[in-house]
Structure 1
C-alpha cells in the first residue's frame, strides 16, 4: 500500500490527497451498486451526511457517497457477525483492528455459511483483484474517516459522522483555497499577464526587485504596516498606498534633490576653476594709491620671507592680498633689503607703495642696539624712541630688573652697577610709540638668553678657569670694548686670559684696561693720566684691582662672545693701536715699549 493509501488502481481516494474528489472514481459507484454481501439488501440506518462541495458545482463531491455507503455496510455486517458468533468475531475474519467486517483479510460469508468473494461470486480460495482493491480502499476509508470526530487535528475528520451540520465546509469559506479539479478538467496554469505600471500595487516589488527606488516615485517608504492578503489578491493597495498627487510630490522632491546636487557640483567646479585661473593667469587683488591717512605699526620678525611679511601687512589692513605684495617686492630691485623691525605704514596701500615705504628709513619704527653699547646709552635711545622723559627707562630698569627675565646666574655680585648690563643683546627691536619700556627691555633680555643658550657657558667657564657664566659674558664685553675689528677679538681674549694667570708677574694679574675705567666714569676717553687711573679706587678699575670687573661693561655681540669662549691660544700679553685702525699684539714688554714709542711719535707729529 502506498503512502496515500492507493491499491492496485490508479486513482487515490485519501481525503488529504491533492487529487481527492476527481472524476476518476465515478467507476466505483457501479461496484457499490452490487451488494458485496451475497445479494443481501443494504439494511442499515441512513445517517445524515455532511455534503461535500467541489469547485465545479454546489452538489456533493463525486466519490464521497460511495465511501459513506461502504462504511455503513461494514458496520451492519459487523453486527450480524457479532450476533452469529456470540459476540466474538472469528479469528479468520478479524482485520488489523480486530473488527470482523468484510474486506479485512479473508472471504466473506452469508447467513447460510456460503463463502463469497468481494464481487458476490462463490469464493474458491483464489485472489480477487477487485476484492483486494475494495478491501484496501475500505481499510483506508476506515483509518482516515474515523466516526464521531476522533482526530481533532484532521480537517476532514468527522465528515462521515452522523451529526449533520456540526462540521464546517472548509472549501466553502472565503479564506480557503479552491479544491483540485478532476484530471479531465485540469489544464496548465496560464502564465501571468504582465501588468502595466498603473496596475502595480504598493506591495508589488516591481522592476527594482523590491528595493526602495527613491527616484522611481515609489511610495512604499511611508507604509506603516503589512497589507491585507485579500487586498493583495484582488490587486488593491494597502495602507501605504498613495494617490497620484503623492507620487508626483515624491518625484518632484527627487528632481529637486538632483537639481541641487548638480547645481552644487557645477558651482563648485566653476569656483575652483576660477581660483585656478586667477592663481595662474589673473592679477592678485590690490589697492590703489598710497593709502589712507590712518597709520598702523607693523612688526616684521627676524628672518621673515616675503610671504610672511605680506601676511603681516594684510592682517594689519595695509595691503589687500599677500600675492600682490610678493609680486611687488619681486619687481623692486631692492625688495630683498627689507629687514626685521617695526614699520609705521598706512592702511589700504597699494603693494608697490608699501614696498617703497618699507625701504625708506623714515618708516621704520625700530630701535637698534649696537655691539658693545652700554646700557645707559640704550636707555636713552628707548626714551627717545617711545617719546618718554629722559631717565624713564633707566628708572624702570633699576626697579624692575628682577621681573625682566634675567637668568639665575646673573647679578651675583653686589658691586655690579647695572644688573641688566650685558643682557640687552645687540639687535633691531620694534619700538612703536604706544609701547612701554619694560616691554622693550623684556624683548632684549629674551634675545640675550636665546643667544647665550647656544653656548655652554657654565661648561666654558669651568674650562677657562672662570668662576661662573657671568664672567664669560664679562670677558666678551672686554673683548668687544678693546678690539677694533672682529679679527682682533680672539687675540684680545687670549690677552685677558693670559693676564689673569697666577704666573703673570708683568702686570701681577691686573688687566689694566682703559675701557673699565671709562665705564665706571661713564666716558670714552683715550688720554687718561697714569696717576689718575692707577689711584682711583673702584671695583671696575682694573688698574687698581686684580682680575675681572664685577660684571660686563657693555653688551657684547656674537663675534666677541665666540672669541671669549674660544681664544686663539697665543701668548699675547700686550696690544696697542698706532693708527686707530689696526691693533698690534706683542708677547713681551720690550716689544710693547717699542710700539708705544712709535705711537707717541705719531701723536706728537699729528
Structure 2
C-alpha cells in the first residue's frame, strides 16, 4: 500500500498527493467494488461483475493467475502488492477498480473461504491501514466538493509571542507558563525550557530596551520639535541695535541672503540666519546688499543688521573712482584708516619701488609721482589689519594685472607709442577729458592725430586743459589759455609737444579699452559747449565756431 493508499490511476485521492487534480469527475463515479479497507463506504454496483473466485491458486513455484479483463503487473513479489490496470467508464474517468490490492496469501493446506470479506495480511506485522486509523486521509470527494482546507491558525498569547523581553530564548519562545507542550517533529511551541520551568525576563534587557526606546522617542521628539519650530515658528532674533562690541563681517561676492545670514550668525551679529533673511525680504532694498566688509555690532536684530548693510556708506571699504589722481587716493586712505594727513603720500614717495611696479614704469626722472596711473580704480575691502602699505600694494597689483591682461606692451608699438607707460598716459588723458565710452574712443583718436608728425594745426601739441589742471592740482575749466601756454612744465601740453612724462590720473577699464581701440574718425578737436555733451570736429574752423559759442555761454553764466 502506498502512502496515499491507492494504485496507479489518473488521479490521487488526497490533495497533498503531487498527482492530485483529475478532471471531469461525475457524481456517480466513485469507488467501485468492495471497500478494501474496511470503511463504511457506500457500495455501487459494478458495470460488469465477475464471479468471485479464489484469487490465487498458490502452487509452489507457479505464477499467479490473472483475470482476463484485468491484467495485473507483477512487481517485486516481496513487496506484497500488485498494481492493476485502471478501468475507465464511458466518460473516460477512472472507476476506481484499478487499485493496489495486497496479494492475499492463502494457506495451501487449509481450506479458504473464497468469498471471505476479511483480507488476510500479507505478512505478519504488516503496516496498519492508514484509512482506518485516526490519522487516515479522508475518502475521495467529487471535484465540485474538493477544496483545500485552510490550516488552523494557532492562537498566540499576545503577551509572550516572540517578545523582546523574554529572557534566555533564542527561538522566539513564549514567556508564559501555559504552553501546550511539544509539537510533532521535536519542535517546541511553548517557551518552556526542557526542564519544564518557565523562562524569566531579563531585567537588564528590559532596562536597556527602555533606555533605547526613551532615547529614540526623546531624540525624535526633540528633532521633530526643532524642525517644526524652524519651519513654522518665529525665527530666533535679538532686539535692538546691538552691543558696543564691534566686529568686521566680510560678505563675499555672489553671496545670497541665506549665506549672508549664516556669516552674520557665526560672527555673533544676529541670533539666527533666518531672522536676517526674513528682515531682508521684508525690506524693499534688502536684496541690494553689496559684498564687502561691514563693521557691525554684536547681537543686532535682523532688521537692524539689514538697515546697516543696505547703506553702501556703512561698508568698511574704500572705493577708488575712475580717473582719480593719486593725491585724492592718498587723502581717502588716510581718512578711512584714521591716519594723519599726508601719511599715505609720504609712504608712496618713499617706498614707490617696493610696492610692486612693473619694470617698464617709474623710470622717467621727470615723473611727478611714479605711482600715478597704478592705483587701479576699484573697491577695496578693509579690515582691522589694513594699512596704507597693504592698500597701495593691492592697488598696484590690480593695475599691473589689468595692463598685462590687455597686453599693452604689445599694443604700444601698434599704436605708434614708445612704451607701455605712454599707453597708460593716453588713457589717463582720455579719462580726464571724456565723459563716456563713446567720448573716450573719439578722444583717443584726437590724441593720436595730434601726435602725428604731419599735424601742422597744433604742431604736435596735445593742448589738453587737464594737464595744466594736474600741475595746479585743480579741476577748473575756466583759466587763461595765455597763461597756460606760457607755463614751462613737462606736464603742460599747452607748452610742450607730445605726451607728458607720465599719467595724470588712474584710468579705468573703459578709458583703457578706448585707448587701445580708437574711433578712427579723423577727429582733431573737441569742445563741450554746454558743459555736458562733447562735440568733436575735424577742422580748426569748425572748432573755432564751437569755442566762440562756448565762451558766450560762459559769459552769460557769469553775468557778464
Range of TM-score over shorter length: 0.5 to 0.7
How many Å separate the matches in 2 of 1:483 and 1:587?
17
TM-score by length of 1: 0.54
Once the two structures are superposed, the pairs formed by residues 126-525 of structure 1 within 5 Å of their partners are 269-270=220-221, 273-274=224-225, 276-360=227-311, 363-431=314-382, 435-525=386-476
- Tell me how far apart the structure 2 counterparts of residues 573 and 392 of structure 1 sit (CA, whole Å): 42
Distance 1:352 1:530, change over 3 A: closer
Aligned counterparts of 2:168 and 2:227: Cα–Cα separation in 1 = 35
Q: CA deviation at 1:419?
A: 2.1
Aligned to 1:552: 503
Quick one: distance in 2 between partners of 1:403 and 1:300?
Answer: 31
1:600 aligns with 2:532: no
Question: How far does residue 333 in structure 1 lie from its aligned partner after superposition?
Answer: 0.5
Change (3 A) 1:254 1:593: same
What SS does the corresponding residue of 1:555 show, helix, strand or coil? coil
| Aligned partners of 1:498 and 1:572 also within 8 Å | yes
In the aligned structure 1, how far is the partner of 2:422 from the partner of 2:366? Answer: 14
Q: Return the alpha-carbon distance in structure 2 between the equivalents of residues 518 and 311 of structure 1.
A: 49
SS in structure 2 opposite 1:585?
A: strand
Evaluate the alpha carbon distance shift between residue 362 and residue 252 of structure 1 in structure 2; reply closer, same or farther with a 3 A threshold: same
- Look up the SS of the partner of 2:536 in the other structure: strand
Separation in 1 of the partners of 2:330 and 2:466? 20
- Residue 451 of structure 1 deviates from its aligned partner by 4.2
CA distance in 1, matches of 2:200, 2:502: 93
Query: 1:32-181, aligned counterparts within 5 Å?
Result: none
- The offset of 1:453, in angstroms, is 4.9
1:415 Cα deviation after fit: 2.3
Tell me: CA distance 1:318–1:492, structure 2 relative to 1, closer, same or farther (3 Å): same
Which structure 2 segments of 5+ residues have no match?
1-166, 172-198
Normalising to structure 2: TM-score of the pair? 0.58
**Deviation string for 1:415-454 (max 9, x for gaps)?**
2222221222223334467742222323333443454454
The structural deviation recorded for 1:273 is: 4.0
Unmatched tracts of structure 1, length 5 or more:
1-213, 219-246
Bigger-Rg structure (1/2): 1
- Paired with 2:457 and 2:486, the residues of 1 have a C-alpha distance of 19
Length, aligned pairs only: 364
Aligned counterpart in structure 1 of residue 494 of structure 2, from 526, 543, 546: 543
How many angstroms does 1:498 deviate by? 1.7
> In 1, distance between residues paired with 2:355 and 2:259?
29
Pairwise CA RMSD of aligned residues?
Answer: 3.2
Measured against aligned partners, the alpha-carbon deviations of 1:497-532 in whole angstroms (never above 9, x if no partner) come to 222223323223221111112212322233343443
- Inter-partner Cα distance in structure 2 for 1:602 and 1:270: 81
Higher alpha-carbon deviation: 558-567 or 357-366: 357-366
Against the structure 1 CA distance between its residues 594 and 390, is the aligned structure 2 distance closer, same or farther, given a 3 Å change threshold? same
CA distance in structure 1 between the aligned counterparts of 2:359 and 2:392, rounded to whole angstroms: 17
Distance 1:403 1:443 in 2: 12
Cα distance in 1 for partners of 2:218, 2:446 equals: 76
CA displacement 1:534-568 (0-9 Å, x = unmatched): 34333222233332222211112222222112222
In the aligned structure 1, how far is the partner of 2:357 from the partner of 2:279? 42
CA contact (8 A) 1:386 1:433 kept: no
Equivalent positions of 1:579-598 (< 5 A) are: 579-598=530-549
The 1:317/1:405 distance shift into structure 2, 3 A limit, reads farther
Report deviation, 1:332.
0.3
Measure how far apart 1:408 and its partner are. 3.9
More helix by share: 1
Contact kept in structure 2, 1:539 and 1:550, CA below 8 Å: yes
